[in-house]
Amino acid sequence: MREFNLPEKHEPYTDKYFLRSNQVLKGEGMNPYVKMQVFIRKGPGRVYGIEEAVAILDKYSNIRDKGKILALPEGSQYKPSEVVMQIEGPIQEFIELETMYLGAMAGETSKRAGITLDFNSVKENAKKVVEAADGRPVMYFGARHWKYDEDAKIARAAYEGGITKCSTDIGAATFGGRGKGTSPHVAILMFGAKYGIENASLEFTKAFDRHIDPRVKRITLIDTFNRELSDSRMILAQIPDRVSGFRLDTCGENISEGGTKSNGVPYETGNGVTIELVNNFYNQMKELGYQEKEIVLSSGFADARKIAAFTAAEKRLGHRLFDGLGVGGLFKSIETKADTVEVDGVRISKAGRFFRPIERLEEVVLG
């Protein structure tokens, strides 16, 4: 296996929500054996960066003794959404490494496909997003979409475009800040495996409050199991004082809980985070008397046209739809994604995602 000049520590390059999630898992004594599948939705193409991703997992974890990695050989042809790597092991070993290994694969695959990174374009796209957000904060969430060694420069360009926060310490340091973020789907899945999917968001929110510095805002993720309305209602009924707000990140495979099929008007109804979803969510919070709770949206909001559709809807509806945005795609890349598909031998995954066959993968010899 090739040698790579990896940084001494991974933490500065890691999305803060993975670091905090591992802190919660350690605090709760939760370390199940997990299978994580990595795939590229856009294709077909050739996948690169696998050897560097393996080196990252090998350097910063004990996966060689406690788990294993299956992968396609470097440069292999892949089909859209085909699994190109499967990581197995105790979740605490590799939950903090997702940002780096996905970024290595996305960056190398993109570069080999002829995609170049333009920092001025990042800055200009950030300006458009910030302007469309109409005074509300925008956080850069895209560290996993390009290699870690350029994350700081990307974050700085986003900041120069008006974005005020980002998810990694290495990026935020370029403008005197610290990484931000609370919870990813993988953390909610661990609690779903232990407490059942109907209790996962509630139990994770309780655990986050037990183990994370109280100065950190409690923005909890509620779309993991397509229970956006049910999970937020349960949390507000049981622990309203332990949550500052909610993040909606419904993926493009799903129509949200209570949502309807697309009516043909972009962003209004259908799959993903829609105006219909957020309006239903806001109305529920208002009905329950918690309309002051923050609403943070992510998934597709690096497109200023989508944000503009939401702000126009706010004027029509007569109330706000969001208090902040998380954006990733400020630049073109072939994004690599990772999904938990099994926990302690039991199949469990994010709604809209599923276990995929892995016949072509080969076990990687580490060390």
pLDDT digits (tens, 9 = 90+) for 285-305: 999 999 999 999 999 999 999
Q: Which SS3 state, helix, strand or coil, does residue 248 take?
A: strand
As beta bridge partners, residue 294 has 245
Length reported for the chain: 367
Q: pLDDT tens, 226-283? A: 999 999 999 999 999 999 999 999 998 999 999 999 999 999 999 999 999 999 999 9
User: What is d(CA 235, CA 53) in angstroms, rounded to the nearest whole number?
Assistant: 37
- pLDDT value of residue 1: 64
Question: Are 43 and 80 within 8 A, CB to CB?
Answer: yes
- pLDDT value of residue 3: 84
Q: What is the edge-to-edge ordering of all strands in the sheet holding 336-343?
A: 346-347, 336-343, 33-40, 83-90, 68-71, 362-363
Q: pLDDT tens, 3-35? A: 899 999 999 999 999 999 999 999 999 999 999
- pLDDT value of residue 89: 98
Question: Are 128 and 304 within 8 A, CB to CB?
Answer: yes
Q: Model-level pTM greater than 0.85?
A: yes
Q: How many helices and strands, by DSSP H and E, does the chain display?
A: 13, 14
User: What is d(CA 269, CA 140) in angstroms, rounded to the nearest whole number?
Assistant: 25
**β-pairing, 33-40 with 324-327?**
unpaired
- pLDDT value of residue 366: 86
Topology annotation, domain 118-182+217-331: TIM Barrel (3.20.20)
Rounded alpha-carbon distances, angstroms, from residue 216 to 52, 175, 182, 261, 264: 33, 19, 8, 36, 39
Which helix (H) or strand (E) element contains residue 169? helix 169-172
- If pLDDT is split at 50, 70 and 90, which confidence band does 284 have? very high
**β-pairing, 68-71 with 83-90?**
antiparallel
Q: pLDDT tens, 146-203? A: 999 999 999 999 999 999 999 999 999 999 999 999 999 999 999 999 999 999 999 9
11-115+333-363 CATH: 3.20.140.10
Domain extents in the chain: 11-115+333-363, 118-182+217-331
User: What is d(CA 84, CA 74) in angstroms, rounded to the nearest whole number?
Assistant: 10
Question: Are 46 and 225 within 8 A, CB to CB?
Answer: no
